[in-house]
């Protein structure tokens, strides 16, 4: 039986705002190393012998970022499944299982969230090898993290009887919701309790059989969504109507808490789900004063703090146990003990219909990126970068005109029936209502400054006539 890594790359990571945003969530960010968490997750298992290419499940709006990050590390995935809407982990895993069983009826799934940290990869592989013994016996294996402290931010797994087929593996006695401090301390004192990691190993068909028995609506919808799915460039789109009607549930609630075949494999692997800024501070090596810093940072008399600067110098003086995170459009200052309340900030931004929880000032597109430089009444200035060989859609705007100035590189500009090449320091004008397109025919990135002027400058004032990326 072959093992297929299934990487779940959904979620918004709201507790890591302002760095994590809806269109650029934590799994797509370089939080712990110089690579993103998605890249680290895939590379963690990339050189394991006999492991197949990964299957990635992600949201539609993240598809080009995911594909680009895989290309950047030289990984060709088995596939990228696109969820039209988030329906929690049970439907996502069920869709992946249906996709895999069509390729390999005996496929074994190693289900991994894309946003976890594991520092002892050898111990992790050993745990997977032990779990495989249980999978061959028909088990649905989950990995229980050996607890290092009475953590209240994780669910727990209580082990039951030992399994004969695998030394150190146990039946699952019960799953426990996130406990209070007193209960967590009791669990550690008693022993036999593990943090619920959300990682699993099982045969695709075995999981689907249990899902059909326990949650037939989810099983049916996921199967139909894959069968009715279709190819779109390098992606596999799940059928939108079918998947959107699928009940939303976690794999724990839908299957693992109800099945009699659940087994837990204890794992002491240096694991963290990096669910908060304090958790990120804990998994990184600090300086002599316990500070974890990134970016242009100045510290004076600071201890046990996390300070991160993304776009300018951040100076912190005479404080302890703080989290300070600066981005181009937001700054977070919080005590490390209070970082779970960051989610309330995101809820506030949503309630006020603001955009700082959705995207950064730099917005990534399949052709490159753009970022806001300045804006005011009836004008907006953007910096645009187009990757070599890429091009924007053929489009027009009802309410704005655009002026383009080439800063570096070469631009091929379509404006109505006219096509021209522009070099550094040359410019052009796109009138309101004119069909136009920007392309980079060169071998180096194209950088331009765009000045928009008009009565309405929203991103929804785009009428696309032709798009190589098949966006609506």
CATH number at residue 27: 3.90.550.10
Is the pLDDT reported for residue 430 higher than 80? Answer: yes
Residue 137, domain member (yes or no): yes
> Could you tell me if 186 and 74 lie in one domain?
yes
> Could you tell me if 197 and 77 lie in one domain?
yes
The residue out of 321, 346, 371 marking a domain boundary is 346
Residue 355, domain member (yes or no): no
> Could you tell me if 44 and 181 lie in one domain?
yes
How much is the pLDDT for 2?
95
Tell me the mean pLDDT in the region 284-304: 97
Per-residue pLDDT reduced to its tens digit, 384-401: 999 999 999 999 999 999
> Could you tell me if 13 and 120 lie in one domain?
yes
| Total domains in the fold of the chain | 3
Helices (H) and strands (E) in the chain, counts: 11, 30
> Could you tell me if 21 and 156 lie in one domain?
yes
Is the pLDDT reported for residue 102 higher than 80? Answer: yes
- Alpha-carbon 345 to chain mean position: 20
CB 259 within 8 A of CB 140: yes
User: At 282, is the pLDDT very low, low, confident or very high (cuts 50, 70, 90)?
Assistant: very high
How much is the pLDDT for 22?
93
Domain encompassing residue 70: 3-272
> Could you tell me if 173 and 92 lie in one domain?
yes
Tell me the mean pLDDT in the region 411-434: 97
Tell me the mean pLDDT in the region 36-49: 95
Burial 213-229 (b: 16+ CB within 10 A, else e): ebbeebbebbbbbbeeb
Residue 148, domain member (yes or no): yes
> Could you tell me if 101 and 156 lie in one domain?
yes
Is the pLDDT reported for residue 13 higher than 90? Answer: no
Is the pLDDT reported for residue 94 higher than 90? Answer: yes
268: Cα within 13 Å, side-chain hemisphere = 6
The residue out of 287, 322, 346 marking a domain boundary is 346
CB 269 within 8 A of CB 145: yes
Q: What is the pTM of this model?
A: 0.92
> Which residue from 280, 310, 306 is spatially nearest to 293, judged by alpha carbons?
306
In angstroms, rounded to a whole number, what is the distance separating the alpha carbons of residues 257 and 407? 58
Residue 356, domain member (yes or no): no
The residue out of 272, 290, 307 marking a domain boundary is 272
Give how far Cα 200 sits from Cα of 59, 256, 265, Å: 21, 10, 10
Calculate the average pLDDT of the chain.
96
Measured over the CA atoms of residue 265, residue 266, residue 268 and residue 270, the dihedral's sign is positive
Is the pLDDT reported for residue 414 higher than 90? Answer: yes
> Could you tell me if 121 and 182 lie in one domain?
yes
CB 213 within 8 A of CB 184: no
How much is the pLDDT for 164?
87
How much is the pLDDT for 343?
94
> Could you tell me if 294 and 438 lie in one domain?
no
| CATH number assigned to the domain comprising residue 438 | 2.60.120.10
CB 221 within 8 A of CB 239: no
How much is the pLDDT for 472?
72
User: At 165, is the pLDDT very low, low, confident or very high (cuts 50, 70, 90)?
Assistant: confident
Residue 352, domain member (yes or no): no
CB 243 within 8 A of CB 97: no
How much is the pLDDT for 50?
82
Residue 351, domain member (yes or no): no
Tell me the mean pLDDT in the region 113-119: 96
Residue 167, domain member (yes or no): yes
DSSP state letter for 413: E
> Could you tell me if 267 and 285 lie in one domain?
no
User: At 422, is the pLDDT very low, low, confident or very high (cuts 50, 70, 90)?
Assistant: very high
> Could you tell me if 150 and 25 lie in one domain?
yes
User: At 339, is the pLDDT very low, low, confident or very high (cuts 50, 70, 90)?
Assistant: very high
Is the pLDDT reported for residue 163 higher than 80? Answer: yes
How much is the pLDDT for 153?
87
How much is the pLDDT for 260?
95
How much is the pLDDT for 166?
86
Residue 87, domain member (yes or no): yes
Give how far Cα 366 sits from Cα of 54, 69, 122, 222, Å: 22, 12, 36, 28
Q: What angle do CA 80, 82, 88 make, to 5 degrees?
A: 115
CB 244 within 8 A of CB 85: yes
User: At 437, is the pLDDT very low, low, confident or very high (cuts 50, 70, 90)?
Assistant: very high
> Could you tell me if 31 and 167 lie in one domain?
yes
């Amino acid at each position: 039986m072959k093992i297929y890594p299934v990487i779940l790359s959904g979620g918004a990571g709201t507790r890591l705002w302002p760095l994590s945003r809806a269109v650029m969530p934590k799994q797509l960010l370089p939080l712990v190393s110089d690579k993103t968490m998605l890249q680290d997750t895939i590379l963690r298992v990339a050189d394991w012998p006999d492991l197949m290419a990964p299957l990635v499940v992600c949201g539609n709006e993240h598809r080009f970022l995911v594909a680009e990050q895989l290309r950047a590390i030289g990984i060709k995935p088995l596939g990228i499944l696109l969820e039209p809407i988030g329906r929690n982990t049970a439907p996502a895993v069920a869709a992946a299982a249906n996709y895999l069983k069509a390729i390999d009826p005996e496929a074994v799934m190693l289900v991994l969230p894309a946003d976890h940290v594991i520092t002892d990869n050898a111990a992790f592989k050993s745990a997977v090898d032990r779990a495989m013994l249980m999978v061959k016996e028909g088990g649905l294996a989950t990995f229980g993290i050996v607890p290092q402290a009475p953590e209240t931010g994780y669910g727990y797994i209580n082990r039951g009887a030992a399994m004969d087929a695998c030394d150190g593996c146990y039946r699952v006695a019960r799953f426990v919701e996130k406990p209070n401090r007193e209960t967590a301390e009791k669990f550690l004192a008693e022993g036999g309790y593990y943090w619920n990691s959300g990682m699993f190993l099982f045969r695709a068909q075995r999981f689907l059989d249990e899902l059909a028995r326990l949650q037939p609506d989810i099983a049916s919808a996921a199967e139909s969504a894959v069968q009715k799915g279709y190819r779109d460039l390098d992606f596999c789109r799940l059928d939108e109507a079918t998947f959107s009607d699928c009940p939303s549930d976690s794999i724990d609630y839908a299957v693992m808490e109800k099945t009699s075949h659940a087994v837990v494999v204890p794992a002491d692997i240096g694991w963290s789900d990096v669910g908060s800024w304090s958790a990120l501070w804990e998994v990184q090596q600090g300086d002599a004063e316990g500070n974890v810093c990134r970016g242009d940072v100045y510290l004076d008399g600071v201890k046990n703090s996390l300070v991160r600067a993304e776009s300018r110098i951040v100076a912190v003086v005479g404080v302890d146990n703080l989290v300070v995170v600066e981005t181009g459009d937001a700054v977070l200052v919080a005590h490390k003990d209070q970082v779970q309340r960051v989610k309330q900030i995101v809820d506030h931004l949503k309630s006020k219909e603001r955009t700082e929880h959705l995207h950064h000032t730099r917005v990534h597109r399949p052709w490159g990126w753009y970022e806001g430089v300045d804006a005011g009444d009836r004008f907006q200035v953007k910096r645009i970068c187009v990757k070599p060989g890429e091009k924007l859609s053929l489009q027009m705007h009802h309410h704005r005109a655009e002026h383009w100035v080439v800063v570096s590189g070469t631009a091929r500009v379509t404006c109505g029936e006219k096509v021209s090449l522009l070099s550094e320091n040359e410019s052009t004008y796109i009138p309101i209502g004119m069909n136009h397109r920007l392309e980079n025919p060169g071998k180096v990135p194209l950088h331009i400054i765009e000045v928009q002027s008009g009565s309405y400058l929203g991103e929804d004032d785009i009428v696309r006539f032709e798009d190589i990326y098949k966006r609506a």
